[in-house]
Amino acid sequence: MRYVSTRSAEPGPGLPFCDILLDGLAPDGGLYLPQSYPQLSAETLTGWGELLESDGYAAVAFEVLRLFVDDIPDADLRAICERAYAVGTFGDPVVPVAPVTGDLWLLKLSEGPTAAFKDMAMQLLGQLFEYELERRGRTLTILGATSGDTGSAAEYAMRGLDRITVFMLSPQGRMSPFQQAQMFSLDDPHIINLAVEGVFDDCQDLVKAVMSDAAFKATHSIGAVNSINWGRVVAQVVYYVVGYLRVHAATGAERVSFAVPTGNFGNICAAHVARMMGLPVDALILATNENNVLDEFFRTGVYRVRSGAAETSSPSMDISKASNFERFVFDLLGRDGVRTAELFGPTLLERGLFDLSGTPEFAAVRDRYGFVSGTSTHADRLATIAALETSDGVVIDPHTADAVKVARDLRAELAGPIVVTETALPVKFSATIVEALGREPERPDAFAGIEDLPRHVLDIPADAGVLKAIIADRLG
């Protein structure tokens, strides 16, 4: 398996997995994807279902990942998966499913150390980084941006790893108090939190600016932990496979749909990859909040970047530039790297949008790629949280509520079970839960008093020069 950039003019021989794992962003500014997607047979899925039942999540993770990774020996990759997805880290079983009213199923992804679905990828990424850096005798500087949960999941996965230093950018005041506390309470010399004046898009732009400076990136061995890193996306492919297998085993349904709340298109990009591999998925239901750039595209064919993201009660989706969307558009355009580079480079810079509405490619979005979409508002989130607690005794976080709301809106158009990807435990967004239910959400003992811990964070302007100076100074 070799990997190419979404902006490559010529396919070329491609790069192996471990090279792109450490690189993150391609030198031409594009994102890495496999040259082709491996294909799943019915027999393979049947075998994986039996393996999941007998050996658990880590065993299936190994089988999925080995389709994409051929430069790590099988024995080593299996051990990496077993360490990443230990029952002691995620509970037993890892990633269960639970039915709720309306032929919906919750794919429970928030049982990890930071109570968010990002743990599912970050725990694996930490193990992969540690393995490959040790093998190469290298160190790595992780530069990331977070709108909420990526930061804490990355920091908890990378802390204590001697060969890694993490610089994590977050928008000042835009995350929930719990999310801020999870990150800023960490006291580790290799974890540096930087709160940026602006919104998440400003943080993401800073990461891309630094990553695009090839000399600076090489000098300071800078890699990515955001979902621009293919390692994040492929790790998430695993739980779509597992979600399908669990719901298929429980219902006998041959096909399912997935409802995914998204702002940066990372989570649903993994679902897209799984579907392209042949996982029996009917629809991919994309749910946005009021920052509905992606919903607008899938309804109209127009991708229009906003001047800034609105602040909402599902803050991890407060994004107006969906960096992973480029991967899907590359596939949509028949893997035309020149055309993809034009759309995400000069066209967006000059016009702030691109329009595929009249193209044959966009006409095939639903039939070929399965995408449907919808938007949820603050009032919708409150109503959905309250309704699900009343009907099923289940309390969900506001991002998951966005997905449930959109899934229910589209329920009549779709056959078979709909699997909603849970994003976080409700405690991370207690103010919204109180508004919806009139009471605080349950708080696991591990998070007692976290908001009262000392904070370790530096406020900075949205200036790439300032960020580079801080990185250079901290790394010596």
- Catalytic site residues? 118
Residue 13, φ and ψ in degrees, nearest 5: -75, -20
Tell me the CA end-to-end span of the chain in Å, nearest whole number: 37
Which pair of tokens denotes residue 320? 């107006």
- Report the C-alpha gap between 404 and 259 in whole angstroms: 7
Indicate the Cα dihedral angle 410, 411, 414, 418, nearest 10°: 110
Please, which residues have CB within 8 angstroms of residue 454's CB and are 6 or more apart in sequence? 185, 187
Beta bridge partner(s), residue 375: 288
Closest Cα to residue 426, out of 444, 404, 453, 405? 444
Q: Report strand pairing: 191-196 vs 164-171.
A: parallel
Q: Which helix (H) or strand (E) holds 222?
A: strand 222-224
Q: Are 404 and 396 in contact (CB under 8 A)?
A: yes
CA distance 417 to 105: 7
